[in-house]
Each structure stands twice: as structure tokens, then as C-alpha cells.
Amino acid sequence: MNSAIFKTYQFYFSLMSLIVAGVFIFQDGVVAKIVAVLFFINCITNAVIAHQKVQKKSK
């Protein structure tokens, strides 16, 4: 695993979004489920951006 990804702030935003999504997924209600899905999408997007930044730096 490349440790350079830990130096990007997008990685930590992704981790925070994953934790918040995990909290919302256990709540009752439709709005909480929608918010959880949005945070999961945000998590994936930030992880992809962090990966792309690391790939650009390594080239």
C-alpha cells in the first residue's frame, strides 16, 4: 500500500464520510437512508480523487 495517500486531505474526508454514513445507515426513516447513500457516494468520490492525486504525483 502506498503511504502517500495518507498525506492527502481527500483521504481523511473520505474516511469521515464513511463514518458519518455508517451512523446514518442505522437511523430510521427515509431521509436518513438518503443521507447515508449521499455520504457513501461522497466517500467513494473523495477516495477516487485522493487516488488520482497520488497517481499524478508519482508520475
Instruction: Read off the pLDDT of residues 2-51 as tens digits, 9 standing for 90 and up.
Output: 688 888 999 999 999 999 999 999 999 999 999 999 999 999 999 999 99
pLDDT at 52 over 70: yes
What is the residue range of 19's domain? 3-58
pTM for the model stands at 0.84
pLDDT at 1 over 80: no
Helical pair 9-25 and 30-58, crossing angle rounded to 10 deg: 160
| Domains held by the chain: number | 1
- Residue 6, C-beta contacts closer than 8 angstroms, at least 6 positions apart: none
**Of 57, 20, 15, residue with least CA distance to 37:** 20
Length of the chain: 59
